[in-house]
Amino acid sequence: MTIQVRYLNYGEYNRVANFLDRYWANNHAYVKMPQLFEWTFGSHSYWDRDTYSFAIAENESEVVGILGGVPFLFNSCGRTSYGMWLANWMVRPSDRHGRCALTLLKQFARHPFDTTIAFGINRDVMRIYQAMQWKVVEDIPRYLFVLPEATERMIYLLTRAYPDWEIQRAQSLTKAVTLTDFQDTPTSDNQFSPPEFDYWDKYTWAKFALETTGASRNSAYLKWRYLSHPLFKYFFITAPEGDRIGLAVWRLETIRQATPDGFKDLDIIGRLVEFMPVSKHNCKTLLTLLVSDLYHHGAMGADFYCYHGRIGAWLNQAGINEVGLYPSGRSIPARFQPLEAKGGQIMSAVSCQAESPCYPFSPDCCWYWTKSDADQDRPN
């Protein structure tokens, strides 16, 4: 029989859940949490079908392949078009001959979605994207810092992840990523709430849009991505400067270790998912507010992935460097539920037909891209 590819109709979620559980990962997040699947692939204003933004391949009514897409508004220095993030591309091993995988891809790499991004790919899939002339990009920059009072907690975390490490190695790496010159300072409560969204769109995002390339961070996106998330509680931090507003968004993540008796809570860390200062001085102000909020919630520090040359430079000047610059820095665990002894490198692939400074990956890049893009910031 010929394999047929189509979009997943509403009411067919269980067919994908069964495939994910059997072929992708037992008890996958989208299997455990149907509401997360609905939020990710359900009704999107940029999707042009009356279905989930999710495709399935069928052989005699049996699902043999899947690919999800998350549509978004793509901004390129003030010009907008439609983009698509890809997620969960898989064909079961017995059906990987032929063109099933590429037919699934064509369901999303098409007009009107001029920019298609696969964020978080492995090296096996990388070869497929390279053969299709996509730009394959390694290592989104990762910035992690530990609060001064939490150094022993970080050392303990590293030695739990890597029991064979000598204590001096964990101590040296912890010292390198420990934040200095920031303290828990008194702040105003109104700095820990979302921005006034009409004002954000008119004065702040309007300017950011001219300076950046990537998924639009307009108010519609911020509301959908953070205020409407079905599982996570995100914290907003605002720092006005003139008529613009610096913005940070973050959440708490519990670090858990797998044991024979189940998961054991080890610590908590801040997962920073947006950091949009409007100046070097504003960057320092936002970081000061973030540090205060981290202390308030008992977090040991913060972890942030981001492409953007200028923001990266401002973080460097504030004493927060890319972890890959430190010996053993790439070994810092990135998966915390459960804690895994592997680093946090994230590889991606981009196909961009829209007029844009296409590939983000130089020190002065104008792309703004964080771990909240696509479906990367979700439960394990």
Q: Are 61 and 47 in contact (CB under 8 A)?
A: no
Identify the weakest region by mean pLDDT among 57-71, 279-293, 339-353.
339-353
Residue position matching structure tokens 């950046």: 212
DSSP lists the bridge partners of residue 119 as 348
Q: Are 143 and 304 in contact (CB under 8 A)?
A: yes
Q: What is the per-residue pLDDT across 57-113, written as a single tens digit (0 to 9) for each?
A: 999 999 999 999 999 999 999 999 999 999 999 999 999 988 999 999 999 999 999
Q: How far apart are CA 74 and CA 80, in angstroms?
A: 5
DSSP lists the bridge partners of residue 70 as 85
Tell me the domain boundaries of the chain.
4-137, 142-344
Please determine, looking at this structure, whether the domain spanning 4-137 carries the CATH number 3.30.360.10: no
| pLDDT, position 374 | 93
DSSP lists the bridge partners of residue 240 as 245
Q: What is the per-residue pLDDT across 2-53, written as a single tens digit (0 to 9) for each?
A: 899 999 999 999 999 999 999 999 999 999 999 999 999 998 899 999 999 9
**pLDDT-based confidence at residue 183 (cuts at 50, 70, 90):** low
Phi and psi, residue 259, nearest 5° = -130, 165
Identical fold, 4-137 and 142-344: yes
| pLDDT, position 284 | 94
Q: What is the DSSP string of 119-180?
A: EEE-HHHHHHHHHTTPEEE----EEEEE-GGGHHHHHHHHHHH-TTS-HHHHHHHHHHHB--
Q: How far apart are CA 163 and CA 98, in angstroms?
A: 45
State the DSSP code for 17: H
Assigned CATH topology for domain 142-344: Aminopeptidase (3.40.630)
Q: Provide the 10 A C-beta neighbour count for residue 183.
A: 12
The H or E element containing residue 288 is: helix 280-297
Name the range with the highest mean pLDDT among 132-141, 286-295, 338-347. 286-295
Q: Are 3 and 57 in contact (CB under 8 A)?
A: yes
In this structure, are strands 54-59 and 213-215 parallel, antiparallel, or unpaired?
Answer: unpaired
Q: What is the per-residue pLDDT across 247-267, written as a single tens digit (0 to 9) for each?
A: 999 999 999 999 999 899 999
Q: Are 50 and 7 in contact (CB under 8 A)?
A: no
Residue 116, SS3? strand
Q: How far apart are CA 125 and CA 24, in angstroms?
A: 14
